[in-house]
Structure 1
Amino acid sequence: MNAMSQATRRVQRLLARTVLLCACAGTAGLAAFAPLAHADALDTIAKSGVVRIGVFEDYPPFGSIGPDMKPLGYDIDMANLIGKALNAKVELVQVTGDNRMAYLADRKTDMLLSVGQTPERAKVIDFSNAYAPYYLAVFGPKSLAVKGNADLAGKSVAVARGTLEDLSVSKVAPPSATIKRFDDPNGAIAAFLSGQAQLLVVGNDVGATIIARHPSIDPEQKFSLFSSPDHVGLNKNEPRLMQKVNDAIAGARKSGTLNALSQKWLHAALPADL
């Protein structure tokens, strides 16, 4: 998947993270996914020796299919880390944005990765501590000195019109910055890659793909604008499994493993405030 297609899909998922969208959707939609009573999930995992983890396979660099037709990405590595902590074999379950909440409620998965935390979702599932950063950021060539909002003065910045990227950078950009708005993320990315705009605002996942695939323009992340980190999503009332997952995340943070995953897949250090 190229950065443009990835950006379009990411916009759809980012909208699902926002409180505004959740408020508009109402409680009834997610309430339909509230799980029925079941046996303790940790006991079930221990007895079967298998933990089923829902992941996206069309969401690089968090999850995608490699040349060998095997899943790879930040979330795949994270799933294996959790499986090791649970002393269980990992069974990756491919999910989509539309079906994954139902898969969790129906016990087709034991947990989900890459879940953004919102008040609406918190009514029907529980969230682990954050394990991966997701944020909007300003990207540009290393040769361009930009470290913060003030440095946008006199610069041109490409965004998709009306998106969170547009709103976020428009709030902080100095009056002399030129915000170039395009009809969709693909247009903004194309403008940046072709030199029509000096800077680009996208999610860190899309930015990581651009960094990896376009070394000729030597792009880098300049600074972040809006943060909505990724969590592990569990069914409610699974405190023992939640503790195991949080312990695995804490151990990976302390050992430097989470930072290594961020560097490997996102080409940026794990944020200190994650």
Structure 2
Amino acid sequence: MIRRMILAAAVATACLAAPCAGTAHADQLDDILKAGRIRIATDLAIPPSGMMDAAMKPTGSDVETAELLAKDWGLQLEFVQTTGAARIPNVQTGKADIIISTLSVTPERAKVIDFSRPYAALQSVVGCLASLDIKGWDDLKGRTIGVSRGTTQDTTLTNMKDRALTIARYDDDATMVTAAISGQADCVATSATIVHQIGVKEPSRPFEPRVPITTFDLAVGVRKGEPKLVEKLNAWIGENLKNGKLNAIYKKFHGSELPENMRS
């Protein structure tokens, strides 16, 4: 009897540390549908992907993508405002259900979250003040390059140790853009779209894309171990790429169409 009691206690302790056989795994998609709402982490300080309009209402390509998703799924939409560095922790800690926030697909990120199929693309560049003669990486020596902390551009430039780049990190894209507008930064590493936005905000300091970094697929981020949610997202993205709705949203805010291979 004592031995059986000890064995039962050991099994119970083990089940606290890890799920036991036969224990049901909570499914996030079921939880979302049951709640009737979806919480989406979106950075609202990176125009034109996410921003606030004159009436302080969220707008932008990621915002309209999130709104379309919630509408198609018949769910109430709750935006979880975030920054680049906080996007992934938001879903890991359960603060948000998914991420729609210019989230580039990278091998490093795929180790800690899962991705949907791509719904958009991001051309990553170093953009500089138009009056500067910058044609390649060698021309950037001795110049400070502004970058948003925790972004793929931050990671890429940090790993380019052989080029001895000088990097100034900002907490978010809005702060980085402000630095460029105010003259604190003459070069920034970000998306080509944001580079163009600098000149829109301050015509006296137009920036131009000068050094290409790479082109990233943008996808919806989901916490690890939610295959049903990823499958449903993939089906939704495929349908809305085919019917042109996602391309129309992207073109409305970015002024160009999605890559042809993504739309076909």
Match of 1:263 among 244, 251, 264: 251
CA pair 273-87 structure 1, distance change in 2 beyond 3 A: same
Q: Report the Cα offset of residue 101 of structure 1.
A: 2.4
Per-residue Cα deviation, 1:49-92 (whole angstroms, up to 9, x for no partner): 10111111211111112111111111110111211232211111
Does the Cα contact within 8 Å between 2:146 and 2:189 map onto a contact in 1?
A: no
Partner of 1:243: 231
Q: Which runs of 5+ in 1 are unaligned?
A: 1-36, 141-151, 172-180
Match of 2:27 among 20, 23, 40: 40
Q: Report the Cα offset of residue 96 of structure 1.
A: 2.3
- 2:35 and 2:189 mapped to 1: Cα distance? 45
Does the Cα contact within 8 Å between 2:41 and 2:82 map onto a contact in 1?
A: yes
Q: What amino acid maps onto 1:44 in structure 2?
A: D
**TM alignment of 1:21-170, pairs within 5 A:** 39-114=26-101, 115-137=103-125, 160=145
Greater mean deviation of Cα atoms: 239-248 or 203-212:
203-212
- 1:116 and 1:212 mapped to 2: Cα distance? 24
Does the Cα contact within 8 Å between 2:198 and 2:205 map onto a contact in 1?
A: no
Tell me the SS of whatever aligns to 1:270. coil
- 1:183 and 1:124 mapped to 2: Cα distance? 26
Does the Cα contact within 8 Å between 2:48 and 2:60 map onto a contact in 1?
A: yes
Equivalent pairs counted in the alignment come to: 221
Q: What amino acid maps onto 1:41 in structure 2?
A: Q
Partner of 1:146: none
**Coordinate RMSD, CA, aligned:** 4.3
Does the Cα contact within 8 Å between 1:40 and 1:238 map onto a contact in 2?
A: yes
Per-residue Cα deviation, 1:214-242 (whole angstroms, up to 9, x for no partner): 78999998996511222110012211111
Does the Cα contact within 8 Å between 1:208 and 1:266 map onto a contact in 2?
A: no
Q: What amino acid maps onto 2:237 in structure 1?
A: I
Per-residue Cα deviation, 1:181-218 (whole angstroms, up to 9, x for no partner): 9986989967xx9xxx9xx9852231342465578999
Q: What amino acid maps onto 1:74 in structure 2?
A: S
Partner of 1:23: none
Percentage of identical aligned residues: 33
Rg: which structure is higher? 2
Greater mean deviation of Cα atoms: 124-133 or 89-98:
89-98
CA pair 223-246 structure 1, distance change in 2 beyond 3 A: farther
Greater mean deviation of Cα atoms: 57-66 or 209-218:
209-218
Q: Which runs of 5+ in 2 are unaligned?
A: 1-23, 129-134, 148-153, 170-175
Per-residue Cα deviation, 1:8-66 (whole angstroms, up to 9, x for no partner): xxxxxxxxxxxxxxxxxxxxxxxxxxxxx962111111111101111112111111121
Residue 203 (str. 1) matches residue 183 (str. 2): no
Does the Cα contact within 8 Å between 1:208 and 1:265 map onto a contact in 2?
A: no
CA pair 118-212 structure 1, distance change in 2 beyond 3 A: same
Q: What amino acid maps onto 2:64 in structure 1?
A: D
Tell me the SS of whatever aligns to 1:229. strand
